[in-house]
Amino acid sequence: MKILANDGISAVGKKLLEAAGYTVITEKVAQEELANAVNEQGIEMILVRSATTVRKEVIDACPNLKLIGRGGVGMDNIDVAYAREKGLTVINTPASSSQSVAELVMGHLFSLSRFLNDSYKNMENGDFSTLKKNYAKGVELRGKTIGIIGFGRIGQSLASYALGVGMNVIAVDQNEYVAEIKVPVGGNDVVVTIKTVTDLKSVLGQMDYISIHVPKQADGSAVITASEFALMKKGVRIANAARGGVIDETDLIAALDNGTVAGIALDVFENEPNPKKELLSHPKIACTPHIGAATSEAQDRIGEELAQLIIGQFGNKA
């Protein structure tokens, strides 16, 4: 069986699949040529990340397609329900990238707290004494409260890191439940229980930091808009490594300019791969190009998990 890994797959995952008798093609196919390539090359499985979309028109045009796999968590670039309705297997790897995304968020939180992103941009051409004064009002994470909006695998992984540096955690989720968070300390795990809250607006004012980990909303609406910004503590710092569009970017600029938000880290944007220029250039915004899961370790785990799911579902062909 032929597999098109159109957004790439780790060497570990490819090796496992090839050892099981699958042919893995990694040459990138342009989105507009995807259906033709699938049919012409006799491809029966497509593996994607966030760049390639597999919508209804591709599914309808490829009658021999048997599986669509997403390396990562969110599957908003796949028409999942329609694919399954047509008898296709749809898989993803929700557990493989949680730690990598959480670590990126923690890096951004430290960076925002000490103005690392903006100071780096200005060091080469700025006056040292002036810059030292401009960036002398950093804050510490220890003792601060972080609100984690969306408390699934990634949110809980982030909570473990945040607790480890001495932060207080408010977990917001659609459902109310108690989660046991393991915090590794000296080779042992300290377990901290956190009860989620379901009313976001009731706790926004308590948060010094906010990190968002929710999927793109089905109706396309934003989770954070002007009404949510209005309830936040002045000087809040935010990270979004979930999906573009969960924060209204126009309302965000206004909240940055009026001082409600002291800084925000964005790994995702509404208009990827062409974010608004005012986001990229704003001195209070730290940007990364959708790299939350882009660590060597996560890519190996994603590739391995995809391979195991495929082999488990369709068998060893060797």
Q: Tell me which residues are annotated as active site.
A: 243, 272, 290
List the alpha helices (DSSP H) in 23-134.
34-40, 56-61, 80-85, 98-113, 116-123, 128-134
Cα 97 to Cα 301: distance, rounded to the nearest angstrom: 8
For 260, residues 6+ apart whose C-beta sits below 8 A from its C-beta are 229, 230, 232, 234, 235, 236
The DSSP 8-state label assigned to residue 22 in this structure reads -
Structure-token pair, residue 65:
């397609």
Cα 311 to Cα 60: distance, rounded to the nearest angstrom: 25
Structure-token pair, residue 174:
């659609």
Of residues 217, 246, 245, 210, the one with CA closest to residue 231: 210
Of residues 303, 256, 278, the one with CA closest to residue 97: 303
Place of tokens 């700025």: 126
Partnered with residue 211 across adjacent β-strands are 148, 239
The values of phi and psi at residue 134, to 5°, are: -65, -35
Place of tokens 């209005």: 230
Rounded alpha-carbon distances, angstroms, from residue 8 to 87, 100, 147: 25, 18, 34
The answer to whether 203 and 236 have CB atoms below 8 angstroms apart is no
The answer to whether 46 and 68 have CB atoms below 8 angstroms apart is yes
